[in-house]
Amino acid sequence: MPRMPQLQWDLFCRVVDNFGDVGVCWRLAADLAARGERVRLWVDDARALAWMAPGGAAGVELQAWPDAEDDTRPVGDVVVEAFGCELPPAVLVRIAEKAAEAPRKPVWINLEYLSAEGYVERSHRLRSPQMHGPARGFSKWFFYPGFTAATGGLLREPELMAQREAFDRDAWLAAHRIAPQPGEQLASLFCYQVPSVEALLGCLDHAGHERTLLLVPGTAPPLPALPPSVRVQSLPYLTQPDFDRLLWACDLNFVRGEDSLVRALWAGRPFIWQIYPQHDGVHELKLQAFLDRFDASPDIRAAWRAWNGLQAAPVAGPDRASWQAQCLIWRKALLAQTDLASQLLSFVAESL
């Protein structure tokens, strides 16, 4: 099959809270650009990219969110509306104009949040005709990342697993002035808050490791009093590649949000995910859907629920050996699926 000509992508992102939205969008933009596409990333708050991606990425052009009603800048071949961010009216006008004038209509994609819930498979790649507004008569397409072959897959750069295999743990730790003591396990802590110190300590308790070096990147939430067996080292905010390597270097990872969940899955280490809490309790259903999707063992389920404040902490954390084995099984299953950027490229090729 001949390769599609290079396309211009316009990826729109609004930062709702924390760093997850722009983190996912930057990874996608950089991944597409590395495959030969041209990408403009439109974002209303790009401050986090100063540490996530200080060097930028070849082929990615960063643009401020187009607030002006009379903005006349043209749109590209593909318009990606990330996480229902609602495109500005001026952009909708440009989409309609290009659809009427250009030899081919732009492909308009609504890239949704990641979930393991059943509706994702039912909603993936559905058409959404626009009945009102400047783009009336045009259609956008729902694209759902996910954990099965019937979804849009997960972000995974083509060279990622080869880099993981070649990772020099000792060299990376030394470069970041991280010096574990003999017999000390490494654990990373990236969380919204510490909902249960009992759940934290239960998971850190691991036969063969009486002590833990807890690595905390970025601005840490208030940490509770920890026993002398747990040593804490604060790290600066890490670039996205270095955050990946932090997860690779650790024996146990506590992660939060969408982007970090996916990177923890690729790390293949035991981990616990803190899902973004929602006032209506929907986050509990999303967490349960993930655990069900991967048929997590009862002890992993209990640890994850306790860490998310959904039940009391168990007396002990999951058995580390079986936990490690389950994480590798999860990763193997996901590696058999086509990644998100590849699926987007295929979908656009079909739609143009």
Active-site residues, by number, are 21, 258
Structure tokens at 284: 């509990």
Q: What is the torsional sign of CA 288, 292, 296, 297?
A: positive
Distance of CA 73 to the CA centre of its chain: 29
72, 99, 107 from 89: Cα distances, Å: 11, 15, 17
79-110 burial, b for 16+ CB within 10 Å, e for fewer? Answer: bbbbbebebbebbbbbbbbbbeeeeebbbbbb
What DSSP assignment string belongs to 175-193?
Answer: HTT--PPTTEEEEEE--S-
Q: Alpha-carbon distance 263 to 245, whole Å?
A: 10
Q: Alpha-carbon distance 198 to 313, whole Å?
A: 6
Phi and psi (nearest 5°) for 24?
A: -65, -45
Q: Alpha-carbon distance 82 to 25, whole Å?
A: 7
What DSSP assignment string belongs to 24-42?
Answer: HHHHHHHHHHHTT-EEEEE
